[in-house]
Amino acid sequence: MRDELLSLLWLVITLAGYYVLKPLYRRLPRWWTSPLLTVPLLLAALGLLLGMDYPAYIRDTHWLVLMLGPATAAFALPIFRYRQLIRAHWPALLAGVLGGSAMAIASAWELATWCGLDDSVRRSLLARSITTPLAMLVSSDIGGVPELTALFVVITGVAGIALGELLLRHLPLRSALARGALFGVGAHGAGTARAYDVGTEEGSVASLAMVLAGLLNVLLAPCLSHLLR
Partner 1 sequence: MNSLHVRMRWLGWRRPRVARWAQVALIVLFWFACDLTSRRLHLPLPGSVLAMALLLVLLLAGAVPAASLRRGADWLLAEMLLFFIPAVMAVWQHLPLLRAEGVRILAVILVGTVLVMGTTALLVDLVFRWRQRRAG
What is the nearest approach in angstroms of partner 1 to the Cβ of residue 1?
A: 22
What is the nearest approach in angstroms of partner 1 to the Cβ of residue 6?
A: 14
Site for partner 1 in 160-199 (CB under 8 A): 160, 163-164, 167, 171-175, 177-179, 181-183, 185-187, 189
Closest by CA to 186, choosing from 203, 219, 163, 215, is 163
Find the helix packing angle between 83-115 and 200-227, rounded to 10°.
50
Among 24, 50, 147, 196, binds partner 1 (CB under 8 A): 147
- In this chain, which stretch among 1-9, 36-44, 195-203 interacts with partner 1, using CB under 8 A? 36-44
Q: Binding to partner 1 by residue 222, rule CB under 8 A?
A: yes
User: How far are the Cα atoms of 10, 20, 62 from residue 14, in angstroms, in the given order?
Assistant: 6, 10, 12
Site for partner 1 in 116-135 (CB under 8 A): 116-118, 121, 125, 128-129, 131-134
Among 9, 24, 50, 145, binds partner 1 (CB under 8 A): 145
Among 85, 127, 142, 150, binds partner 1 (CB under 8 A): 150
Q: Binding to partner 1 by residue 30, rule CB under 8 A?
A: no
- CA dist 29 and 71 (Å) reads 24
- CA dist 126 and 123 (Å) reads 6
Find the helix packing angle between 2-27 and 35-50, rounded to 10°.
150
Rounded to the nearest 10°, the torsion over CA 142, 145, 151, 156 is -20
Among 108, 127, 198, 224, binds partner 1 (CB under 8 A): 108
